[in-house]
Chains A and B, each alone.
Chain A
Amino acid sequence: SAVISQKPSRDICQRGTSLTIQCQVDSQVTMMFWYRQQPGQSLTLIATANQGSEATYESGFVIDKFPISRPNLTFSTLTVSNMSPEDSSIYLCSVAASSDTQYFGPGTRLTVL
């Protein structure tokens, strides 16, 4: 299995600011994903982070609000831009190698005031 770390683990931010979340995995993986879990809700896929190309966003999520980078096969970042209280959520990255199982990181708990 892959060992995934996320930074920061939690943060409290002011409205209108941006936060960049990092996801690091201990081995090269084919696929990396970013999910959002709003308070008391299930997980929703934001986008697939593609190595060397633009991320693939799900319906309802746009690049201007959630820019994603993936410079290599072990690292990705998600930025939450121009934050509002509605962005308060847990953001999780997940990874998968080839056709293997998808593993999830510990999550970043974001509170926007």
Chain B
Amino acid sequence: AQSVTQLGSHVSVSEGALVLLRCNYSSSVPPYLFWYVQYPNQGLQLLLKYTSAATLVKGINGFEAEFKKSETSFHLTKPSAHMSDAAEYFCAVSPYSSASKIIFGSGTRLSIRP
């Protein structure tokens, strides 16, 4: 069975600092991996997705994630945090395709300190 584990339910960084949100996955087949962002009182927006092409995936808003099979990880990073990055971030996995059933992690709430 596929699953994702997000380490840290809450991460706080200073504006301008590096953002690192951790995600480890479990999958018996090559997975499709995603990061979604949810701003307060809004729906989900796709940040980026990995579909077995390049292991370093660039997304919107300056975010990127690296697929590391040996570590079963798909951590999300951004070099310099902005106040507008404050949101809930969900790592997710799908065993079949990017248009199939998605299994979400528990989420990480990112706070930005001025």
Which chain A residues have a beta carbon within 8 Å of chain B's beta carbons? 30-31, 33, 41-45, 48, 58, 92, 94, 96-107
B98 pairs with A42, CB closer than 8 A: no
Q: Given A96-B99, A99-B98, answer yes or no on A106-B106 (Cβ-Cβ < 8 Å).
A: no
Query: At the interface, yes or no: B82 with Cβ under 8 Å from chain A?
Result: no
B42 at interface by CB-CB < 8 Å: yes
User: A33 touching B101 by the CB < 8 A rule?
Assistant: yes
- Would you call the interface of chain A mostly helix, strand, loop, or mixed? loop
Assess the A100–B99 pair: CB atoms within 8 A.
yes
In the bound assembly, the distance between CA atoms of A30 and B100 in angstroms comes to: 10
Q: Say whether chain B's binding surface is mostly helix, strand, loop, or mixed.
A: loop
Contact B43 A105 (CB under 8 A): yes
Taken together as a complex, chains A and B put the C-alpha atoms of A101 and B57 apart, in Å, by 15
CB distance from A44 to the nearest CB of B (A): 8
Known contacts A42-B90, A42-B105, A42-B106; is-contact A103 B100 (Cβ 8 Å):
no
Q: Which residues of A contact B90 (CB under 8 A)?
A: 42-43
- On B, residues with C-beta under 8 Å from A are 36, 42-46, 49, 90, 97-107
Residue pair A100, B104 in contact (C-beta under 8 Å) = no
Q: For A96, give its contact among B42, B45, B98 (CB under 8 Å).
A: B98
Decide if B46 touches A101 in the complex (CB within 8 Å): yes
Chain B nearest CB, measured from A77 CB (Å): 18
| Shortest Cβ gap from B53 to chain A (Å) | 13
A/B interface sample: 22 pairs, CB < 8 A: A30-B99, A31-B100, A42-B105, A42-B106, A43-B102, A43-B104, A45-B101, A45-B102, A94-B44, A96-B98, A96-B99, A98-B99, A99-B99, A100-B99, A102-B98, A102-B102, A103-B46, A104-B43, A104-B44, A104-B45, A106-B42, A106-B43
